[in-house]
């Protein structure tokens, strides 16, 4: 089953509504908890960032992308890999989340984080740490694919089936 | 608990500084740390932060407790992990099957660990001595979208609460027989039973926060007049400009040094 999005999702436009802002900050906090709590595997060229599973949420509600942006910013800040990682990493997450919210089908939803993080994050990591670019693309690509597709897709399917956000928050 | 993780009121000279000044100092720390290539620099900056903290009234005890309880485990983890997995350098000092420790890995881990220490403590210094509403006000006066600054601040604010929630969910699931120790496959399978309750459990939080926001006219259009007037002095403004120029020069210095430009 490939769900299509029913309507145009404009919820990410600033200024956010109170419910969207509350949701975004909660998502951001969960992102930080999962990244920092599962350190050190959440950082570095070889990373397995479980919190990336939350990047499927913008498919359900576009406003969560701001929460992911804030969460990624704070998580990368704590991670201590540098200003590049802080800003560029969260920018990658923001762009990927925005694209996810625009994806037409549920199968494509986890794709933007995989591609943008694999190629984007590797580009500045390879410049700063000298790790070979294509190797890092492969490592990050594989870990993101596992997290976003193997873990994220079932989660997304489950949440969509439950009508998670519509039922409980945006009634 | 025993320690406060957010703003601690006080009347020290640090408390009386404008939030933007403290933010600029924060930025200065980070930029110095990443543009100057001296291995002992982060530790020195950390000592400087401790000096600043001791000038901030009764903040020191909480600061120390947080660093010990939350900061140190993270730093230790990263240190140990990166010692084994850092890919640079040739000389292997110690081997055990596939695990190798190289000299460069130890240096890198020390640098990374001390950098994380400075990052955490500088952010903590900023957050413990500054009122969140003051931060938000200053940012908004600089043109930052208010909804976004709210998201940043409340993410930082909810984080300790979310952490304890995640821990209790972990304990609850473990007591129901969820396997979390073991190989990576076990860990992967245990993720959804941990994340789903976290998400569903946060629903009431979202509702409550949304209500609180709406009760404070969060979504009314137009700029809000604030009863809060944050003090800012000419001295601080000059200081900020000088520090910003200094940061720019440092970045230029580093870029030139690495032949990115010129």
What does the pLDDT average to over B77-101? 70
Q: Which of A11, A14, A25 to mutate to test the interface with B (most CBs of B within 10 A)?
A: A25
Which residue ranges make up each domain of chain B?
1-130+232-262, 145-217
Contact B195, A53 (CB under 8 A): yes
- Residue A75, strand partner residues: none
A113-117, A129-133, B111-115, B135-139: least confidently modelled range: A129-133
pLDDT at B1: 45
For residues A84 and B239, what is the distance between their CA atoms, to the nearest angstrom?
25
pLDDT greater at residue A12 or residue A54: A54
pLDDT at B182: 65
Mean pLDDT, chain A, rounded, equals 85
What's the pLDDT band for A4 if we cut at 50, 70, 90? low
What does the pLDDT average to over A132-136? 84
**pTM of the full predicted structure?**
0.84
Q: Which of A33, A85, A97 to mutate to test the interface with B (most CBs of B within 10 A)?
A: A33
B70 closest CA partner among B130, B117, B24:
B117
pLDDT greater at residue B164 or residue A82: B164
pLDDT greater at residue A83 or residue B110: B110
pLDDT at A124: 83
* Whether B151 and A40 lie within 8 Å, measured CB to CB: no
Residue A7 lies in a domain: no
Number of domains in chain A: 1
Residue A75 lies in a domain: yes
Residue A158 lies in a domain: yes
A86-100, B22-36, B63-77, B157-171: least confidently modelled range: B63-77
pLDDT at B232: 83
- What does the DSSP 8-state code read for residue A3? P
What's the pLDDT band for A55 if we cut at 50, 70, 90? very high
pLDDT at A28: 95
Top-ranked range on mean pLDDT: pick from B23-32, B64-73, B96-105: B23-32
pLDDT at B257: 79
In chain A, % of residues over pLDDT 70: 90
What does the pLDDT average to over A137-151? 89
Structural tokens at position A66: 């701001």
Answer whether residue A1 shows pLDDT above 60: no
What's the pLDDT band for B262 if we cut at 50, 70, 90? low
- Find the closest chain A residue to B76 by CA distance: A40
> Residue A120 belongs to what domain range?
18-168
For residues B62 and B52, what is the distance between their CA atoms, to the nearest angstrom?
14
Q: Could you tell me which residues come within 8 angstroms of residue B200 by beta carbon, excluding any fewer than 6 positions away? A: A164, A168
- Using the CB atoms, write b or e for B182-221: b if 16+ within 10 Å: eeeeebeebbeebbbbbbeebbebbbebbeebeeeebbee
A58-67, B141-150, B177-186, B252-261: least confidently modelled range: B177-186
- pLDDT tens digits, one per residue of B45-84: 999 998 888 888 778 888 888 888 778 877 887 787 777 7
Between the alpha carbon of residue A26 and those of residues A83, A121, B134, B158, B168, the distances in Å are 24, 25, 22, 7, 17
Contact B155, A71 (CB under 8 A): yes
What's the pLDDT band for A83 if we cut at 50, 70, 90? confident
* Whether B154 and A74 lie within 8 Å, measured CB to CB: no
What does the pLDDT average to over A62-90? 88
What does the pLDDT average to over B102-126? 84
Please list every residue in chain B whose beta carbon sits closer than 8 Å to the beta carbon of residue A39: 74, 77-78
Answer whether residue A65 shows pLDDT above 60: yes
A21-30, A33-42, B43-52: least confidently modelled range: A33-42
Answer whether residue B35 shows pLDDT above 70: yes
- Find the closest chain A residue to B152 by CA distance: A70
pLDDT at B98: 64
pLDDT at B248: 92
Closest Cα in chain B, distance from residue A23 (Å): 5
A80-89, A110-119, A139-148, B84-93: least confidently modelled range: B84-93
What does the pLDDT average to over A126-145? 83
CB < 8 Å from B in window 84-143 of A: 129-131
- Find the closest chain B residue to A151 by CA distance: B192
- pLDDT tens digits, one per residue of B189-224: 777 788 888 888 888 888 888 899 888 888 777 777
Contact A55, A148 (CB under 8 A): yes
Is A163 touching B (CB cutoff 8 A)? no
* Whether A80 and B116 lie within 8 Å, measured CB to CB: yes
Measured between CB atoms, which of A17, A46, A146 is closest to B85? A46
């Amino acid at each position: 089953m490939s769900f299509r999005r029913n309507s145009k999702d404009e919820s990410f436009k600033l200024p956010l509504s109170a419910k969207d802002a509350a949701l975004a900050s909660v998502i951001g906090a969960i992102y930080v908890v999962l990244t920092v709590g599962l350190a050190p595997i959440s950082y570095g060229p070889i990373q397995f960032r479980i919190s990336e599973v939350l990047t499927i949420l913008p498919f359900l509600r576009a406003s969560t992308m701001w929460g992911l942006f804030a969460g990624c910013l704070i998580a990368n800040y704590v991670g201590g890999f540098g200003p590049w990682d802080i800003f560029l990493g969260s920018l990658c997450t923001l762009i990927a989340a925005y694209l996810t919210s625009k994806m037409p089908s549920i199968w494509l939803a986890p794709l933007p984080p995989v591609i943008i993080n694999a190629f984007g994050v590797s580009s500045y990591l390879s410049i700063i740490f000298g790790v070979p670019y294509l190797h890092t693309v492969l490592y990050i690509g594989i870990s993101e694919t596992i997290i976003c597709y193997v873990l994220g897709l079932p989660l997304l399917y489950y949440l969509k089936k439950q009508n998670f956000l519509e039922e409980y928050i945006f009634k | 608990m025993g320690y406060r993780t957010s703003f601690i009121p006080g009347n020290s000279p640090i408390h009386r500084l404008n939030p933007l000044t403290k933010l600029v100092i924060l930025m200065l720390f980070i930029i110095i740390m990443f543009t100057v290539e001296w291995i002992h620099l982060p530790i020195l900056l950390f000592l400087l932060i401790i000096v600043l903290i001791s000038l901030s009234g009764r903040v020191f005890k909480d600061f120390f407790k947080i660093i010990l309880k939350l900061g140190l485990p993270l730093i230790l983890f990263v240190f140990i992990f990166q010692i084994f997995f850092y890919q640079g350098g040739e000389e292997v000092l110690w081997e055990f099957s596939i695990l190798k420790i190289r000299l460069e890995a130890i240096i890198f881990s020390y640098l990374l660990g001390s950098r994380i220490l400075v990052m955490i403590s500088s952010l903590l210094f900023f957050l413990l001595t500054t009122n969140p509403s003051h931060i938000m006000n200053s940012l908004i006066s600089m043109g930052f979208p208010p909804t976004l600054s709210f998201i940043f601040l409340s993410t930082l604010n909810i984080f300790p609460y979310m952490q304890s929630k995640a821990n209790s969910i972990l304990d609850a699931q473990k007591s129901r027989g969820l396997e979390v120790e073991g190989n990576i496959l076990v860990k992967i399978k245990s993720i959804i039973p941990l994340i789903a309750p976290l998400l569903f459990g946060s629903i009431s939080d979202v509702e409550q926060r949304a209500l609180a926001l709406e009760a404070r006219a969060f979504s009314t259009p137009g700029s809000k007049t604030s009863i809060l007037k944050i003090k800012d002095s000419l001295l601080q403004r000059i200081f900020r400009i000088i520090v910003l120029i200094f940061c720019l020069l440092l970045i230029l210095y580093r870029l030139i040094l690495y032949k990115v430009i010129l």
